[in-house]
């Protein structure tokens, strides 16, 4: 594969000197772009788009044609693993993901297979290798997965939830069942992410979208310990060839020290944590990714630029910061505002680096 021309993102994750802060956006390939909406309509539905490697490659590349981003992220969904376990994933307009199969007890969970990524998830690996070829070494490619806890919430709740009552009840009434599910999911995520590395992913991210709904003790028991198990099981390499891994727990700002102890290379921050305070807490142990409130992108370019400046000031000088939103870009943001955000990072951040 092509030699990587822009290494800023990987260098920042490994805290190497860089000339400016790298930037990419969660959900940078998505509904805020008219060209994405056209391809999704062509695919017919969301999962058909995910399962078509050529179309997944196309939408991955679309934001890179518009903006000077420092990384591409695989276009896929966090629920591909439950789908490959036979849960029957589908999406209803306006209601989010749902499953045709439900998990109610230990018997249901014991019957779940751990999927072979070379078979039931081959379409993801084909997308990774296709995107790597198409990138031609311009920027690195990020692979990803949902965390075991986050995947389990969808599988037990049957879809999205506001209260997480079913999975929390299982955690208290039948913890052995929940731990069996989380263990199976951790094994599946390790195999899935290692297969993404083999297919060409140059960095990895684990999205723990719902870890923040847990109490501190339950967060460690049901979410963090399994993410640590995954980090330990990944074939990340070392030194110049290391594939850095970022853990992102939405609502997890109170547990940064715990997250840093997992062996990850970087912690993703949502916008509720001050990035300067986070840097003081974790020191040089890990890099930090984040963490502008996505809602700032509704503002004028001037306000967006001011917010970028404030976050850069808060983090301070030196490497170890990957600029991003604190969560995914929202569908009704104007593409030109996303462009103003990325350009502001590009314009303002060199002052914080002396390379």
Q: Which residues are catalytic?
A: 27, 31, 40, 77, 154
How far apart, in whole angstroms, are the C-alpha atoms of residue 310 and residue 319? 17
209 alpha carbon, distance to own chain's centre: 9
| Burial classification of residue 281, based on how many CB atoms lie within 10 Å of its CB (0-12 exposed, 13-18 middle, 19 or more buried) | middle
How far apart, in whole angstroms, are the C-alpha atoms of residue 180 and residue 178? 5
How far apart, in whole angstroms, are the C-alpha atoms of residue 252 and residue 254? 5
How far apart, in whole angstroms, are the C-alpha atoms of residue 277 and residue 273? 8
154 in a labelled binding site? yes
132 in a labelled binding site? no
| CA distances to 1, 18, 86, 246, 267 from 22, in Å | 22, 9, 38, 15, 15
353 in a labelled binding site? no
Q: Which of 177, 14, 154 is nearest to 104 (CA)?
A: 177
28 in a labelled binding site? yes
27 in a labelled binding site? yes
| CA distances to 12, 68, 315 from 19, in Å | 10, 15, 16
137 in a labelled binding site? no
147-324-36 Cα angle (round to 5):
80
327 in a labelled binding site? yes
Place of tokens 């984040």: 290
344 in a labelled binding site? no
How far apart, in whole angstroms, are the C-alpha atoms of residue 236 and residue 16? 17
Is 36:29 a contact under the CB 8 Å cutoff?
yes
DSSP symbols for 169-229: HHHHH-HHHHHHHHHHHHHHHHHHHHHHHHHT-SEEEEEETTGGGS-HHHHIIIIIHHHHH
Q: Which of 250, 344, 251 is nearest to 297 (CA)?
A: 344
209 in a labelled binding site? yes
Helix (H, G, I), strand (E, B) or coil at 91: strand
Helix (H, G, I), strand (E, B) or coil at 268: strand
Task: Return binding residues for substrate.
Answer: 27-31, 77, 154, 209, 327
């Amino acid at each position: 594969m092509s030699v990587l021309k822009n290494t800023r993102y990987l260098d920042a994750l490994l805290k190497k000197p860089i000339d400016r802060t790298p930037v990419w956006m969660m959900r940078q390939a998505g509904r805020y772009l008219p060209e994405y909406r056209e391809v999704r309509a062509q695919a017919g539905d969301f999962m058909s788009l995910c399962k078509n490697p050529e179309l997944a490659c196309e939408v991955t590349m679309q934001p890179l044609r518009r903006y000077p981003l420092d990384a591409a992220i695989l276009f896929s969904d966090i629920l591909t693993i439950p789908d490959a376990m036979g849960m029957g994933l589908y999406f209803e307009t306006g209601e989010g993901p749902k499953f045709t199969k439900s998990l109610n007890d230990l018997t249901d969970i014991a019957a779940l297979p751990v999927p072979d990524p070379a078979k039931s998830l081959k379409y993801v690996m084909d997308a990774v290798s296709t995107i790597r070829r198409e990138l031609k070494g311009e920027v690195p490619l990020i692979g990803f997965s949902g965390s075991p806890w986050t995947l389990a919430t969808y599988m037990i709740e049957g879809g999205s939830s506001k209260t997480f009552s079913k999975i929390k009840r299982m955690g208290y009434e039948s913890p052995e069942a929940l731990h069996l599910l989380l263990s199976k999911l951790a094994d599946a995520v390790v195999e899935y992410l290692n297969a993404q590395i083999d297919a060409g992913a140059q960095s990895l991210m684990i999205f723990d979208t719902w870890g923040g709904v847990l109490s501190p003790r339950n967060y460690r028991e049901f979410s963090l310990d399994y993410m640590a198990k995954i980090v330990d099981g990944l074939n990340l390499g070392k030194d110049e060839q290391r594939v850095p891994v970022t853990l992102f727990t939405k609502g997890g700002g109170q547990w940064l020290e715990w997250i840093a102890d997992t062996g990850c290379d970087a912690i993703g921050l949502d916008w509720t944590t001050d990035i300067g305070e986070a840097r003081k807490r974790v020191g040089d142990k890990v890099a930090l990714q984040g963490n502008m409130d996505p809602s700032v992108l509704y503002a004028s370019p001037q306000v967006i630029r001011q917010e970028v400046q404030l976050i850069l000031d808060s983090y301070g000088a030196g490497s170890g910061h990957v600029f991003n939103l604190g969560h995914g870009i929202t569908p009704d943001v104007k593409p030109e505002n996303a462009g103003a955000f990325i350009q502001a990072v590009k314009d303002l951040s060199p002052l914080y680096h002396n390379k």
